[in-house]
Amino acid sequence: MSTVLQSLSTELADAVESAGRAVVAIHARRRIPASGVHWRPGVVVATNHTISRDENITATLPDGTTAPATLAGRDPGTDLAVLKLAGQKVSTASLRLDPSPKVGELVIALGRPGPSLTASWGVVSRVDGPWRTWQGAEIDSLLRLDLAIYDGFSGGPLIDGAGRVLGINTSALARGVPVTIPVATVERIVGELLEHGAIRRAYLGIGTQQVRVPESLARKLELKGDVALLVVSLEPGGPADRDGLLLGDVLLELGGAAVSDAADVLAKLGGEGVGKPLAARVIRGGQVKMLQLTPGERPTSRAA
């Protein structure tokens, strides 16, 4: 019986050791450093929220030495950041794109909040389809974890029992609940950040709230659904404000599709939507009105 435990123990420690060779510490904020993963030769992936300065960033490598790193781009939407690390001999992570993780699969979260490696273990607690972060970025699949978070968790990799990377961990996308950004999403964002330095993401500058349209009004206006979106905030000078949307308008349709949830609006935006007008159907003063809204590019400032 002890041999089963012993071999599991050895395999776990082997997985940690091999994957740990690609995990670095990122010094880009006060106090405790965060983690990063050497994703491709010379390219380190980390989390955006743990990088509070754009310059004077250093990385502690697995061998304990320190090297300068430069910020290549960051994306608040997915909480990812890409750094460049020149001329260093660090292993690159071995990635597992397929098969996707399963609920109940044994996983390990690695971190390097300083010179030494840390690990916590647990299981994948939820796997689901694509989802959007509160800033509108699309993540290819939802991966929630049942494991403990320690210093250095964010920016570190989630690995499987063989030491292969399943994604980048962050505690900043779901109110402190540990979430993993899957390999597919990281690959896409790394590619875009290396090319453009930022992720173009369309936005309208509105805040909305779900409202039920009174039945009589819905019948009178011949609406399909009975839930729409009340505009409760409007960024002054933002795209929607410029195009004449008013506070109190009730948004029924955008780009030809009914909207009953903020996610429906985000689905019409995305990176390619910048500058392309969308037809908007709204209720204003009891009447249906058509507007043209042209999404702008979401500012890339940290607070965006």
Q: Which is nearer to other proteins, 108 or 251 (CB)?
A: 108
- Write down the least CB distance from residue 20 to other proteins, Å: 7
**Nearer residue to other proteins within complex by CB, 14 or 128:** 14
**5 near other proteins (CB under 8 A):** yes
Could you say which of 43, 119, 251, 278 contacts other proteins (CB under 8 A)? Answer: 119
- Using alpha carbons, select from 187, 188, 111 the residue that is nearest to residue 148: 111
Binding to other proteins in span 145-174, by CB under 8 A:
147-150
Query: 162 vs 263, which CB is nearer to other proteins?
Result: 162
Q: In whole angstroms, how close is the CB of 6 to other proteins at the nearest point? A: 5
Residue among 16 and 293 whose Cβ is closer to other proteins? 16
232 binds other proteins (CB under 8 A): no
Element (H, E) at 267: helix 262-267
- Decide: is 121 part of the binding site for other proteins (CB under 8 A): yes
Is the CB of 117 or the CB of 283 nearer to other proteins? 117
By CB atoms closer than 10 A (0-12, 13-18, 19+), residue 9 is: exposed
SS3 call for 134: coil
Strand 157-159 versus strand 165-170 pairing type: antiparallel
Distance of closest approach, residue 223 Cβ to other proteins, in angstroms: 50
Q: Rounded to an integer, what is the distance from CA 71 to the centroid of its chain? A: 18
134 vs 150, which CB is nearer to other proteins?
A: 150
φ/ψ (deg, to 5) at 93: -65, 145
- Tokens 């690695």 — which residue? 110
The SS3 call for residue 45 is: strand
Q: Which of positions 49-78 make contact with other proteins (CB under 8 A)?
A: 64
Residue 118 or 180: the one with the smaller Cβ distance to other proteins is: 118
Six-digit token string for 209? 């709230």
Q: How far is the CB of 60 from other proteins (least distance, A)?
A: 12
Find the part of the chain contacting other proteins (CB under 8 A) among 118-126, 165-173, 235-243, 271-279.
118-126
As to burial, measured by CB atoms within 10 angstroms (0-12 exposed, 13-18 middle, 19+ buried), residue 303 is exposed
Residue 288 binds to other proteins (criterion: CB under 8 A):
no
Q: In this chain, which of 24, 95, 117, 137 binds other proteins, going by CB under 8 A?
A: 117
The torsion angles phi and psi of 233, rounded to 5 degrees, stand at -150, 150
**Quick one: CA dihedral 253, 257, 263, 269, positive or negative?**
negative
Rounded to a whole number of angstroms, the minimum distance from the CB of residue 37 to other proteins is 16
Build a one-symbol-per-residue string for 8-47: x at contacts with other proteins by CB under 8 A, - elsewhere.
Answer: xxx-xxxxxx--x---------------------------
Instruction: Indicate the residue among 147 and 265 with the shorter CB distance to other proteins.
Output: 147
C-beta atoms surrounding 27 within 10 Å: 19
Residue type at position 26: I
Q: Choose among 48, 6, 42, 61: nearest CA to 194.
A: 42
Contact footprint for other proteins (CB under 8 A): 2, 5-6, 8-10, 12-17, 20, 64, 108, 115-121, 147-150
